Amino acid sequence: MTSTDIKNDRLLRVAKGQVEGIEYPPMWVMRQAGRYLPEYNATKGDNDFFAVCRNKELASTITMQPIERYDLIDAAIIFSDILVVPQALGMTVEMIEKRGPSFPQPLRDPKVDLARLSKNVDVVAELGYVFDAIKETKKKLGGKVPLYGFVGAPWTLMSYMIEGGGSKMFTECKKWIFQYPEESKELLQMVTDVCIDFLEQQVVAGADIVQVFDSWAGELAPHDFREFSLPYLRQISAELPKRLAARGLEKVPMTVFAKGAWYALEDLCESGYDVVGLDWTFDPAEAVKIARGRVTLQGNLDPNTLYGGRDAIKKGVERMLKGFAGAKGRHIVNLGHGITPGVNPDDLAYFFEQVEKIGREVYGQ
């Protein structure tokens, strides 16, 4: 299936900067297939999180749940996790209920621990289940909306692999970049190589657009971001289109979401991505000024607004859409980060309805 076979291709068009005929912004939300949905909790049941990711029937069913519930959603995102890449590199990762991911043996000493990682990872052998889930989901979608593939950014994955899970201080991975910059770059390169192969195969399997999640970009000083994150983000955006061209496949739009990296927006607009995702700490109008039409912007309502009731949601949507009005249609609506487990699914429906309603007013002016 090519992108021309997708019935609702509003999001793909806006990602590519083709805004003609777009009457209100396309929309989706990060973590849209997750614990705030009762149907997700029912399907997941007591299954282990990664076992669900490895089961194409369950993973595709969960991916479809928000698409089936919300008519206004303009894209699906494959149900998986950024931490499947460290698993492919040979690390054990467990998902602990209500606590999040945990690595029983994180990387600590570069002299010893880099050697533990697999060389020449065969992503088809290690991550074939993701491609199977993508193929299954594409069948279920039947071209209704496009499907996002995704990968964690090398810096964010490196942080998890060294910290061993979520972190407040990032002391261990900061020790690496400051004490062992060369070994850190060796690790970042190993991760980058797998990320590129992984995205290539996701597109081969049917992903229509891809997103790179640099969730911990905001932990870096601007010069450290330029040294330890940006070059690897750029390698991904430069290499994927070449790989696809070599296979005779169409280029897919690429999104980078570098959370907290408002300091790097100028660099991100020149990093080879079609779409730049913004968290809620960016002022939309300021971001539009910096972007100067070079990329499509995605975001950025504070996800906690969804706890504020209908008035707060309506006001938040209005402020967001008016803030992005200067982007002249180069805007994909999203939250500034993933939707959280306590949100009432009906309030998310209201959010989408307001995006359509207020979006038509703003775009009609």
Interface residues with ligand CP3 (CB under 6 A)? 30-35, 44, 49, 77, 79-83, 95, 100-101, 150, 166, 213, 215, 338
- CA angle (25 as vertex; 21, 26 as ends), nearest 5: 100
Q: Which is nearer to ligand CP3, 43 or 314 (CB)?
A: 43
Q: Which is nearer to ligand CP3, 214 or 239 (CB)?
A: 214
Please list the residues that pair with 276 across neighbouring strands: 256, 297
Q: Which is nearer to ligand CP3, 83 or 355 (CB)?
A: 83
Q: How far is the CB of 236 from ligand CP3 (least distance, A)?
A: 15
Q: Which is nearer to ligand CP3, 258 or 362 (CB)?
A: 258
Q: Which is nearer to ligand CP3, 18 or 304 (CB)?
A: 304
Q: How far is the CB of 97 from ligand CP3 (least distance, A)?
A: 6
Q: How far is the CB of 194 from ligand CP3 (least distance, A)?
A: 16
The three state secondary structure string of the chain is CCHHHCCCCHHHHHHCCCCCCCCCCCECCCCCCCCCCHHHHHHHCCCCHHHHHCCHHHHHHHHHHHHHHCCCCCCEECCCCCCHHHHHCCCCCEEECCCEEECCCCCCCHHHHHHHCCCCCCHHHHHHHHHHHHHHHHHHHCCCCCEEEEEECHHHHHHHHHHCECCCCCHHHHHHHHHCHHHHHHHHHHHHHHHHHHHHHHHHHCCCEEEEEECCHHHCCHHHHHHHCHHHHHHHHHHHHHHHHHCCCCCCCEEEEECCCHHHHHHHHCCCCCEEECCCCCCHHHHHHHHCCCCEEEEEECHHHHHCHHHHHHHHHHHHHHHCHHHCCCEEEEECCCCCCCCCHHHHHHHHHHHHHHHHHHHHC
- CA angle (262 as vertex; 259, 267 as ends), nearest 5: 100
Q: How far is the CB of 358 from ligand CP3 (least distance, A)?
A: 24
Residue with tokens 């000493």: 109
Q: Which is nearer to ligand CP3, 77 or 205 (CB)?
A: 77
Q: Which is nearer to ligand CP3, 105 or 179 (CB)?
A: 105
Q: How far is the CB of 113 from ligand CP3 (least distance, A)?
A: 21
Q: How far is the CB of 263 from ligand CP3 (least distance, A)?
A: 18
Q: How far is the CB of 23 from ligand CP3 (least distance, A)?
A: 26
Distance separating the N- and C-terminal Cα atoms of the chain:
36
Q: How far is the CB of 51 from ligand CP3 (least distance, A)?
A: 11
Distances (CA, A) of 203 to 54, 198, 235, 244: 18, 9, 17, 8
Cis? peptide before 47, omega within 30° of 0: no
Q: Which is nearer to ligand CP3, 174 or 314 (CB)?
A: 174
Q: Which is nearer to ligand CP3, 159 or 327 (CB)?
A: 159
Q: How far is the CB of 28 from ligand CP3 (least distance, A)?
A: 9
How is residue 95 written in tokens? 């998902």
Report the residue closest to ligand CP3, judged by CB: 215
Q: How far is the CB of 81 from ligand CP3 (least distance, A)?
A: 5
Q: Which is nearer to ligand CP3, 263 or 363 (CB)?
A: 263
